[in-house]
């Protein structure tokens, strides 16, 4: 649309451009932020007394694909308690922890979020993910193919054939229209094919002559060779096991020497990988150890994986972990082993404040965000829906900004739980600037999304305006106002279109699916041709039928990259 | 002549994608790699095609496609509680528009799972579902059980493409094993005969090679069939358990007891001797990876959802002893896709009611057979399905007593009873789109030939009806 927009007088937080609560105007034309607008046909938004931030960027939320849809199908009881009727601007749908796709898009923009990354895509079923993303309205999105247990990757890396592996990964990312390399319990998922798991990053993966350490390092090297915008995105081995904080630290450390002064690894939903103790009776927070490591090393970023006390649905590609959760809770269990590539599992789960373990988990997510000094290293997430539904992010923001808010929640917990964490002694409170980093600028930077997460000239006009005045509000005391303001954006603008007013969806914008197209040499293509010849031995679909054409995406945003192969 | 390879077969849940099709003068003249059913569809698709028709004065009269679509939209726009049914033999893209249409109309949308694997879906919602994609079967599974399912006659290529007779990284084909055994027996016979002849002339040591090499006797992959009669698949099985009709639930529960090392106080359960059951349980527990494939034998016999629950629970409990999976053998090539698209759009896999303005799901209340039998609907749209031939008589009577719109490439009992007939192009032959294999793997169907003039893809038809309905309702 060639519409011009002028947001006047707002209090702007734009950390990527160093703007910390300055009163300024933001001008938009043709979906992009511009220096100024002039002329008659300008829509003016009076943002006086309101916060203006870039649209939210969610680095990790399970919103689309086979595992999410299996979760939806599994849980009619989750939906009937939370329905969304049709309106003139919106399709009907359902929530709660596994919302339908239309509802997902609307609920994100109502919070002022405009970009969401779907982190777990089994490459064989990539079409499913993209069909659902096509039906997730308004927000821009991307997805990460699961590559950490792909037979081709394991075979190449066990023979140290990094360049051939890189060619394969480049082809995979293009074929599945993906954005980044995802590893989940690397090595463990292949072992789960026969019902086993790995227990450390130096365990052998049966039949493949490789260890998780070699997979992580190999894919880190591949990531660098291919010049991908994000780092490898890793769900660690031993997730959810007491004592696993050591695995997390070893995972981060094993690629330290490959970093070359840049970021090398993103450990996702780090809360679930930060447990000390030897069993559930002795489980306690390992967040301080993780934070200490992250504070001392610059090659790592993480996202929180914050727990919310509610009935939610766990779903990850970590098949063996999910089976373990089924045994622990007795809840219904879905498993899906994807040939040649990966697995997944789904188990409904309720987090209760009176449970010592759940309470410690709740504390860990916040400890990580508060103990890590550099806000550009830690981002807000609940690993939706594993820790809790994404529309609870405003609660997370209020806990970060207000010690009082945290104490109110901690009052519900047993003293025995509070003894196992340092959270009660932490009085740090996030500023609006830090919140803007943790929910927008930080993830955008870590993802290499150049035109997002900031409000500088040239950025895509994804803007959120919240009805809260930093000059009149004390977030520490008035955390409920913070939570309410971030739940219902006064305005959300997507690509220059006003899509939300006062927390209601009033418009539409076509969200795009971002994917990376890495250019590889003809020599590298030879590797792919060779794979095509043996493809049928690995898969039950034809090589010609595997890749997804670009026009499969409702709105494609191709990101070309030049690589080193 | 043009050859197109990697063509996807739009018939059953196997969704084989390795077909080769030869086209001459815009018509398919040969097919390779397909089973006989797939081949029949690819060679005969062009025969007996529908024309757009509207019933006037009791007779179906050919009209223009525009008039047929307009009439269909009028019927739906005026209806208070229409049902939109079928969806299992068409593309996901068409199903998406169908859901939008149902939401616009405030009606009910349902797919063929409602008379087929609906109980499986309900059971999954109760207890879960340890599943997999079919490549895992090929590569890893050394125990294959078919219960109430007869792939030899219904999913023709399943056995050698995905399961008992397939070959994978960790499993050799049972065919090869069977052939090797046969050849070894022949060779042993010949050697025996030869050495007997020589022994008659000369004194030689006892003939060697008269025993089969024991590695050939080592059973690598086992096939077990449980059914009410000895099906064609059962003839190939290592174990066949003949269960009394309508007694599958008892047999499944008894298996669960044995898997947990319990004891049964009886000699037989559901007609199956307990000794045989114990042998099979031994095989189950000692397998590397096993699978239970099941079909309508379980979903539509006494117990229905409880049968499937018991089967899923058995699978879950076997995971404590070994690695085990379960898979429903879906019939229509895209009924899985219908469940998938329904679920991501509405949260529910079938029987979705939009009359409140939001998706509401309560099978038994919102499933179309029940709605029809209670006489609660006043119009139907049927697409990619043939309910007049399959539904209970009472439901059919109700359906045809109200205005009925049928969208189908060829005449069926449903189109013959319809008030509006709209000719569709065959998805997977004349129209592209996405379909989901029975293990949830999505594959893109191809368009290999042009449809006959006047036949258009389902997606386009439903979209045009939707636009016309909107125009009528909103003025």
Q: Are residues B96 and B130 in the same domain?
A: no
Q: What is the distance between the alpha carbons of residues B248 and B304, in angstroms, rounded to a whole number? A: 10
Percentage with pLDDT > 70 across chain B: 93
What domain count does chain B have?
Answer: 3
The 10s digit of each residue's pLDDT in A518-565 is 999 998 999 999 999 999 999 999 999 999 999 999 999 999 999 988
For A32, A125, A163, A177, B90, the CA distances from A514, given in Å and listed in that order, are 17, 18, 25, 8, 29
Q: Which pLDDT band holds residue B190 (cuts at 50, 70, 90)?
A: confident
Q: What is the mean pLDDT of residues B136-141?
A: 92
CA proximity to A56, closest of A117, A8, A7: A117
Residue B12 forms part of a structural domain: no
Q: Are residues B295 and B408 in the same domain?
A: no
For A58, A66, A262, B434, the CA distances from A127, given in Å and listed in that order, are 22, 9, 33, 8
Task: Indicate if the pLDDT at residue B195 is higher than 90.
Answer: no
Q: Whole-number mean pLDDT of chain A? A: 96
Task: Indicate if the pLDDT at residue B200 is higher than 80.
Answer: no
A265-267/A300-303 β-pairing: parallel
| Chain B residues inside the 8 Å CB shell of A98 | 347
Q: Are residues B324 and B385 in the same domain?
A: no
Q: What is the mean pLDDT of residues B79-106?
A: 98
Q: Whole-number mean pLDDT of chain B? A: 93
A540 to B135: CB separation less than 8 angstroms, yes or no: yes
Nearest to B323 among A69, A70, A194 (CB): A194
Q: How far is B139 from chain A (nearest CA, A)?
A: 8
Nearest to B133 among A69, A76, A339 (CB): A339
For A81, A105, A352, A359, A486, the CA distances from A97, given in Å and listed in that order, are 11, 14, 16, 20, 19
Residues paired with A492 in a beta bridge:
A464, A500
Q: Are residues B364 and B468 in the same domain?
A: yes
pLDDT at A314: 98
Looking at chain B, which residue has its C-alpha nearest residue A122?
B441
Residue B5 forms part of a structural domain: no
Q: At a CB cut-off of 8 Å and minimum separation 6, what does B6 contact?
A: A542, A543, A544, A545, B17, B18, B19, B446
Q: What is the distance between the alpha carbons of residues A414 and B213, in angstroms, rounded to a whole number? A: 67
Task: Indicate if the pLDDT at residue A476 is higher than 70.
Answer: yes
Q: Are residues B166 and B190 in the same domain?
A: no
Of A8-17, B206-215, B364-373, B377-386, the range with the lowest mean pLDDT is B206-215
pLDDT at B183: 75
Q: What is the distance between the alpha carbons of residues A68 and A74, in angstroms, rounded to a whole number? A: 10
Task: Indicate if the pLDDT at residue A122 is higher than 50.
Answer: yes
Q: Which pLDDT band holds residue B203 (cuts at 50, 70, 90)?
A: low
Q: What is the mean pLDDT of residues B215-221?
A: 60
Q: How far is B58 from chain A (nearest CA, A)?
A: 38
Q: At a CB cut-off of 8 Å and minimum separation 6, what does A304 contact?
A: A269, A270, A271, A365, A366, A368, A369, A378, A379, A380, A381, A382, A396
Q: Are residues B150 and B134 in the same domain?
A: yes
- What does the DSSP 8-state code read for residue A546? S
Domain CATH code at residue B158 = 3.40.228.10
pLDDT at B210: 47
Task: Indicate if the pLDDT at residue A483 is higher than 50.
Answer: yes
Q: What is the mean pLDDT of residues A499-505?
A: 97
Q: What is the distance between the alpha carbons of residues B158 and B156, in angstroms, rounded to a whole number? A: 6
Q: What is the mean pLDDT of residues B184-199?
A: 77
Last residue of a domain, one of B154, B188, B215: B215
Nearest to A545 among B17, B341, B349 (CB): B17
Task: Indicate if the pLDDT at residue B72 is higher than 90.
Answer: yes
| Chain A residues inside the 8 Å CB shell of B347 | 72, 76, 78-79, 93-94, 98-100
Looking at chain A, which residue has its C-alpha nearest residue B444?
A545
Q: What is the mean pLDDT of residues B77-91?
A: 97
A335 to B325: CB separation less than 8 angstroms, yes or no: yes
Q: Which of B325, B344, B366 to mutate to test the interface with A (most CBs of A within 10 A)?
A: B344
Q: What is the distance between the alpha carbons of residues A138 and B146, in angstroms, rounded to a whole number? A: 45
The 10s digit of each residue's pLDDT in B440-467 is 999 999 999 999 999 999 999 999 999 9
CA-based max dimension of chain A? 70
Query: If phi over 0 gives left and psi between -120 and 50 gives alpha, with beta otherwise, what is residue A63?
Result: alpha
Q: Are residues B400 and B462 in the same domain?
A: yes
DSSP per position, A311-363:
EEEEEES-HHHHHHHHHHH---EEEEEBTTTB--EEEEEE--TTSHHHHHHHH
| Domain residue limits at B279 | 120-171+220-328
Looking at chain A, which residue has its C-alpha nearest residue B8?
A545
Q: Are residues B235 and B130 in the same domain?
A: yes
The 10s digit of each residue's pLDDT in A298-331 is 999 999 999 999 999 999 999 999 999 999 999 9
Q: Which pLDDT band holds residue B187 (cuts at 50, 70, 90)?
A: confident
Q: What is the distance between the alpha carbons of residues A273 and B106, in angstroms, rounded to a whole number? A: 46
The 10s digit of each residue's pLDDT in B385-410 is 999 999 999 999 999 999 999 999 99
Residue B15 forms part of a structural domain: no
Task: Indicate if the pLDDT at residue B216 is higher than 60.
Answer: no
Q: How far is A89 from chain B (nearest CA, A)?
A: 13
Last residue of a domain, one of B328, B354, B384: B328
pLDDT at B206: 55
Long-range contacts of B416-419 (CB under 8 A, 24+ apart): B416/B60, B416/B388, B417/B388, B418/B53, B418/B55, B418/B60, B418/B382, B419/B54, B419/B55, B419/B71, B419/B75
Residue B352 forms part of a structural domain: yes
The 10s digit of each residue's pLDDT in A20-40 is 999 999 999 999 999 999 888
Compute chain B's Rg from CA coordinates: 26
Q: Whole-model pTM?
A: 0.94
DSSP per position, A83-130:
EE---SS---EE-SSS--HHHHHHHHHHTTEEEEEEEEE-GGGHHHHH
How long is chain A? 565
Between B382 and B235, the higher pLDDT residue: B382
H helix or E strand, kind and range, residue A369: helix A356-371
- What does the DSSP 8-state code read for residue A460? B
Q: Are residues B91 and B206 in the same domain?
A: no
Q: Are residues B292 and B411 in the same domain?
A: no
Between B351 and B206, the higher pLDDT residue: B351
Task: Indicate if the pLDDT at residue B219 is higher than 70.
Answer: no
For A197, B28, B32, B318, B399, the CA distances from B3, given in Å and listed in that order, are 46, 10, 10, 47, 43
Task: Indicate if the pLDDT at residue B380 is higher than 60.
Answer: yes
Residue B63 forms part of a structural domain: yes
| Chain B residues inside the 8 Å CB shell of A92 | 103, 346, 354, 357-359
Q: At a CB cut-off of 8 Å and minimum separation 6, what does B90 contact?
A: B334, B383, B384, B424, B427, B433, B458, B459
For A112, A384, A400, the CA distances from A380, given in Å and listed in that order, are 14, 11, 10
Q: Which pLDDT band holds residue B215 (cuts at 50, 70, 90)?
A: very low
Nearest to A73 among B316, B323, B343 (CB): B343
Q: What is the distance between the alpha carbons of residues A531 and A414, in angstroms, rounded to a whole number? A: 56
Chain A, chain B: beta-carbon pairs less than 8 Å apart: 183
Q: What is the distance between the alpha carbons of residues B417 and B415, in angstroms, rounded to a whole number? A: 5
Residue B13 forms part of a structural domain: no
- What does the DSSP 8-state code read for residue B120? H
Q: Are residues B149 and B258 in the same domain?
A: yes
**Contact yes or no for B264/B258 (Cβ under 8 A):** yes
Q: Are residues B295 and B366 in the same domain?
A: no
Q: What is the mean pLDDT of residues A99-113?
A: 98
Cβ-based burial of B44 (10 A; exposed 0-12, middle 13-18, buried ≥19): exposed
Q: What is the distance between the alpha carbons of residues A219 and A105, in angstroms, rounded to a whole number? A: 32
Residue B10 forms part of a structural domain: no
A86 to B358: CB separation less than 8 angstroms, yes or no: yes
Q: How far is B129 from chain A (nearest CA, A)?
A: 4
DSSP per position, B237-289:
-SEEEEPPTT-HHHHHHHHHHHHTT---SSSEETTEEHHHHHHHHHHHHH-SE
Last residue of a domain, one of B160, B193, B215: B215
pLDDT at A157: 97
Residue B32 forms part of a structural domain: no
Domain CATH code at residue B108 = 3.40.50.740
Task: Indicate if the pLDDT at residue A465 is higher than 50.
Answer: yes
The 10s digit of each residue's pLDDT in A43-98 is 999 999 999 999 999 999 999 999 999 999 999 999 999 999 999 999 999 999 99
First to last CA, chain A: 40
Looking at chain B, which residue has its C-alpha nearest residue A206?
B170
């Amino acid at each position: 649309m060639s519409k011009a927009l002028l947001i006047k007088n707002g209090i702007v937080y734009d950390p990527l451009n160093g703007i910390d609560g300055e009163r300024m105007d933001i001008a938009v034309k043709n979906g992009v932020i511009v220096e100024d607008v002039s002329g008659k046909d300008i829509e003016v938004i009076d943002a006086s007394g309101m916060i203006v931030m870039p649209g939210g960027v969610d680095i990790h939320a399970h919103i689309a694909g086979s595992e999410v849809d299996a979760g939806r199908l599994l849980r009619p009881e989750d939906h009937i308690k939370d329905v969304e009727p049709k309106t003139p601007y919106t399709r009907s749908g359902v929530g709660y922890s596994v919302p339908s796709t239309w509802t997902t898009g609307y609920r994100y923009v109502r919070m002022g979020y405009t970009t969401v990354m779907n982190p777990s895509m089994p490459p064989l079923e990539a079409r499913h993910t993209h069909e659902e993303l096509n039906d997730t309205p308004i927000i821009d999105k991307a997805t990460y193919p699961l590559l950490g247990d792909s037979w081709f990757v394991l075979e190449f890396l066990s023979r140290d054939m990094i360049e051939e592996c890189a060619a394969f990964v480049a082809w995979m990312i293009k074929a599945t229209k993906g954005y980044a390399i995802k590893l989940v319990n690397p090595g463990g998922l292949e072992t789960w094919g026969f019902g086993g798991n790995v227990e450390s990053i130096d365990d052998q993966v049966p039949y493949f002559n490789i260890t998780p350490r070699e997979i992580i390092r190999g894919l880190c090297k591949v990531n660098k060779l291919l010049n991908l915008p994000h780092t490898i995105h890793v769900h660690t081995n031993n997730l959810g096991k007491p004592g696993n904080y050591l695995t997390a630290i070893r995972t981060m450390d094993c690629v330290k020497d490959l970093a070359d002064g840049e970021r090398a690894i993103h450990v996702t939903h780090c809360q679930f990988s930060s447990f000390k103790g030897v069993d559930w009776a002795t489980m306690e927070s390992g967040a301080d150890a993780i934070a200490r490591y992250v504070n001392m090393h610059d090659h790592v970023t993480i996202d929180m994986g914050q727990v919310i006390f509610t009935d939610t649905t766990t779903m990850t590609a970590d098949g063996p972990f999910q089976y373990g959760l089924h045994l622990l809770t007795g809840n219904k269990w879905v498993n899906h082993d994807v040939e040649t590539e990966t697995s997944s599992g789904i188990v409904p789960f309720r987090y209760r404040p009176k449970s010592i373990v759940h309470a410690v988990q709740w504390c860990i997510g916040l400890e990580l965000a508060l103990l890590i000094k550099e806000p550009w290293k830690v981002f807000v997430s609940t690993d939706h829906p594993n820790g809790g539904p994404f529309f609870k992010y405003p609660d997370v923001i209020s806990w970060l900004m207000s010690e009082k808010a945290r104490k109110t929640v901690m009052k519900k917990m047993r003293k025995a739980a509070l003894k196992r964490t340092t959270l009660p002694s932490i009085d740090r409170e996030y500023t609006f600037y830090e919140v803007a980093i943790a929910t927008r600028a930080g993830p955008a930077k870590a993802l290499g999304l150049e035109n997002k997460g900031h409000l500088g000239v040239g950025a895509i006009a994804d803007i959120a305006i919240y009805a809260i005045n930093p000059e009149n509000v004390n977030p520490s005391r008035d955390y409920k106002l913070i939570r309410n303001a971030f739940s219902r954006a006064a305005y959300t603008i997507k690509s220059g279109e006003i899509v939300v007013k006062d927390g209601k969806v009033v418009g539409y914008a076509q969200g795009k699916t971002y994917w990376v197209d890495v250019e590889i040499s003809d020599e590298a293509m030879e590797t792919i041709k060779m794979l095509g010849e043996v493809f049928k031995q690995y898969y039950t679909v034809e090589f010609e039928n595997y890749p997804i054409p670009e026009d499969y995406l409702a709105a494609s945003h191709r990101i070309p990259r030049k690589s080193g192969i | 002549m043009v050859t197109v390879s990697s063509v996807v077969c739009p018939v059953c849940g196997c969704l084989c994608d390795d077909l080769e099709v030869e086209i001459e003068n815009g018509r398919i003249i040969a097919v390779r790699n397909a089973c006989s059913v797939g081949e029949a569809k690819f060679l005969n698709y062009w025969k007996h095609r529908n024309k757009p028709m509207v019933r006037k004065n009791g007779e179906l009269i050919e009209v223009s496609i525009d008039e047929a679509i307009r009439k269909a939209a009028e019927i739906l726009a005026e209806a208070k509680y229409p049902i939109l049914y079928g969806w299992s033999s068409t593309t996901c893209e068409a199903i998406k528009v169908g859901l939008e249409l149902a939401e616009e109309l405030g009606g009910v949308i349902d797919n063929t799972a409602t008379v087929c694997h609906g109980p499986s879906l309900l059971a999954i919602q109760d207890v879960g579902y340890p599943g997999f994609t079919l490549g895992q079967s090929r590569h890893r599974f050394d125990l294959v059980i078919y219960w109430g399912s007869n792939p030899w006659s219904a999913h023709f290529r399943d056995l050698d493409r995905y399961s008992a007779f397939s070959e994978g990284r960790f499993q050799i084909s049972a065919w090869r094993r069977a052939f090797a055994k046969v050849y070894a027996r022949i060779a042993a016979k010949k050697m025996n005969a030869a050495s007997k002849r020589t022994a008659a002339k000369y004194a030689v040591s006892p003939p060697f090679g008269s025993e089969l090499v024991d590695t050939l006797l080592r059973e690598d992959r086992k096939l077990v069939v449980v059914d009410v009669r000895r099906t064609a698949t059962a003839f190939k099985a290592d174990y066949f358990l003949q269960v009394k009709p309508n007694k599958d639930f008892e047999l499944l529960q008894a298996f669960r007891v044995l898997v947990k090392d319990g004891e049964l106080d009886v000699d037989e359960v559901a007609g199956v001797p307990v000794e045989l059951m114990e042998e099979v349980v031994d095989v189950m527990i000692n397998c590397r990876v096993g699978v239970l494939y099941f079909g309508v034998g379980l979903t539509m016999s006494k117990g229905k959802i409880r049968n499937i629950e018991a089967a899923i629970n058995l699978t879950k409990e076997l995971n404590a002893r070994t690695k085990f999976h379960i898979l429903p053998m879906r019939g229509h090539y895209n009924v899985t896709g219908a469940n998938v698209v329904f679920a991501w759009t509405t949260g529910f896999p079938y029987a979705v009611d939009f009359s409140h303005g939001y998706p509401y799901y309560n099978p038994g209340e919102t499933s179309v057979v029940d709605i029809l039998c209670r006489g609660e609907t006043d119009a139907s749209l049927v697409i990619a399905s043939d309910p007049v031939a399959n539904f209970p008589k009472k439901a059919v009577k109700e359906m045809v007593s109200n205005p009925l719109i049928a969208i189908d490439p060829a005449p069926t009992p449903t189109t013959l009873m319809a008030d509006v007939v709209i000719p569709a192009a065959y998805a997977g032959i004349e129209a592209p789109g996405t379909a989901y294999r029975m293990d949830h793997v999505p594959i893109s169907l191809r368009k290999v030939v042009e449809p006959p003039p006047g036949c258009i893809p389902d997606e386009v038809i439903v979209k045009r009806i939707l636009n016309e309905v909107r125009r009528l309702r909103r003025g």
